[in-house]
Structure 1
Amino acid sequence: MGHANIADLIGQELPYLRRYARALTGNQKTGDTYAAATLEAILEDRSLFDAGHSAKVALFKAFNQIWVSSGAPVDQADGEGDGSPEARAQWRMAGLTKHSREVLLLHAIEGLTTNQIGEVIGVEEDEAVELLRIARSEMAKTVTGRILVIEDEAIIAMDIMAIVEQMGHHVTGNARTRDAAIEMARKDPPDMILADIQLADKSSGIDAVAHILKEQGDVPVVFITAFPERLLTGERPEPAFLITKPYSEEQVHSAVSQAMFFASSASITT
């Protein structure tokens, strides 16, 4: 496999690796650091990308090797650290079954099969299946809260609200524009925001979220978009939790549970 070909294959999958890394760590900067370390490792050792796997599996497998070799940071958590959102998240992650979060994200968000997940994390498929079952059970116990939905398409908004309400969350309302979202958040501050990128009046869900976070501080955020590659460029603050349209109910469950688990948003900074 030539260098140019490898570069092309990596380039196609890199936005999704960034998405996975940010969801796994709960932080854009930390996630991007792991993604960058993965690329450096591949440049130094091409065999990481020549194992006969698909480009996505090969890339994610290389990432997992970096993640594991870093010393499994979640296992190093001691108490609540310095009290920062990231430190609290790492402390809480220590209580989860080993590999369960990775399996959940790889399956629900990245769309990998349990066989592919096994290849990525180095386990047999039946173990990946069991880890997925455990992950779903553990994430279902995540604290519930009040969610503001920002979505201009009525049918999609109704579907999302039904999903999160079935999870035990309370929906504070649905906003179709940036200004409506800001006003709703002021009247009824949410514990979490689930937002589309492009809104009805051509306003931006990202701008709405950034404004709300500026006024209210850290709130976990999940973004929804039909064009993730336009957002995951590495050139500006980006979401740690991102769902791609068309989405599945499981993707919404996973992203919302993950975001609530971290109980903070490193997703957008201003």
Structure 2
Amino acid sequence: MSLGQQLYPHLPFLRRYARALTGSQMRGDAYVRATLEVIVEAPDEFPADMDPRLGLYLMFNRIWTSSDLESTDFGGANENERQALARARLARMTPLPRQALLLTAMEGFSVAEAALLMGVTAAEAESFVGEAMSEIDRQTRATVLIIEDEPIIAMDIETIVRDMGHDVSGIAVTRDEAVQMAVAQRPGLVLADIQLADDSSGIDAVKDILAQFTVPVIFITAFPERLLTGERPEPTFLITKPFQRQTVKAAIAQALFFDEATSPA
């Protein structure tokens, strides 16, 4: 099996990590592309003595820590706008504790593997994860709208959200209901399933909501690879079903982290 064939199944999940790490589909996907370009240009430099998935994330992390893609002008901004974007990107740089949490809670790496990927000791990585969890407890509280048509899953998500100290503005099971709830009480975060009760789409519900106002969104789906192709506008934050409690907490914390960083002081 070629190296490309070994790496291909892991690309959607690397995109998920990269987007969560940077807070942007565009920047995250740019780092993934840069990683793949390096691998294609110098395949002999790919670490062949480890699991392909681990090696792929290791190569990505080298690009993440050494490249200056954050200075790329993705939007055709003028000079003042470019300077403002540069300052904002510096302010949004994901610190090491959050990287460790994303690698373990969202991507499922062990602490030892996360340490290898980050170039730190296992003890340091474990300390980073603990620090990130403590930071979550100190994070600004938000009002969360849950869009989920499965009652048990909705209750599970609600429990996680409330245990984190956030409020739940409502639980919607259809597209129309979600939009009505969002307009009635503007949430600070939306957690949205893809398939809803009346065969409507959580993606369409989110589009309708975002047409009214800007709000961070986390999608929840059993088929993440369908929304992690890198070929079209896709979610920045995405949780895979069935999910772990720590995964939901990490995604919520990271989404709110970037929302706070971009909000006016």
Identity of aligned residues (%): 48
Aligned to 1:27: 24
How far apart are 1:23 and its partner, in Å?
0.2
Aligned to 2:67: 70
Tell whether the 8 Å contact from 2:70 to 2:89 is kept in structure 1 after alignment. Answer: no
Cα gap change, 1:182 to 1:264, in 2 (>3 Å): farther
Aligned to 1:122: 119
Cα gap change, 1:139 to 1:72, in 2 (>3 Å): farther
Three-state SS of the structure 1 residue aligned to 2:146 is: strand
Q: Of 219, 231, 249, which aligns to 2:245?
A: 249
Q: Of 213, 230, 240, which aligns to 2:236?
A: 240
Give the alignment of 1:176-255 within 5 angstroms.
176-216=173-213, 218-255=214-251
Aligned to 1:61: 58
In structure 2, distance between residues paired with 1:87 and 1:204: 36
TM-score (norm 1): 0.87
TM-score (norm 2): 0.89
What is the letter of the counterpart of residue 122 of structure 2?
Answer: E
Tell whether the 8 Å contact from 1:89 to 1:261 is kept in structure 2 after alignment. Answer: no
How far apart are 1:128 and its partner, in Å?
1.3
Cα gap change, 1:265 to 1:32, in 2 (>3 Å): farther
Q: Of 4, 7, 19, which aligns to 1:10?
A: 7
How far apart are 1:122 and its partner, in Å?
1.7
Aligned to 1:77: none
In structure 1, distance between residues paired with 2:44 and 2:116: 15
Tell whether the 8 Å contact from 1:89 to 1:262 is kept in structure 2 after alignment. Answer: no
Deviates more, 1:46-55 or 1:101-110: 46-55
Tell whether the 8 Å contact from 1:219 to 1:264 is kept in structure 2 after alignment. Answer: no
- Measured against aligned partners, the alpha-carbon deviations of 1:163-193 in whole angstroms (never above 9, x if no partner) come to 1011111100000011110111111111110
Deviates more, 1:117-126 or 1:241-250: 117-126
How far apart are 1:49 and its partner, in Å?
2.4
How far apart are 1:10 and its partner, in Å?
1.4
What is the letter of the counterpart of residue 101 of structure 1?
Answer: R
Deviates more, 1:65-74 or 1:149-158: 65-74
Long gaps (5+) in structure 2: 72-81
How far apart are 1:109 and its partner, in Å?
0.6
Long gaps (5+) in structure 1: 75-80
Cα gap change, 1:16 to 1:201, in 2 (>3 Å): same
How far apart are 1:44 and its partner, in Å?
1.7
Aligned to 1:107: 104
Number of matched pairs: 253
How far apart are 1:51 and its partner, in Å?
3.5
What is the letter of the counterpart of residue 243 of structure 2?
Answer: Y
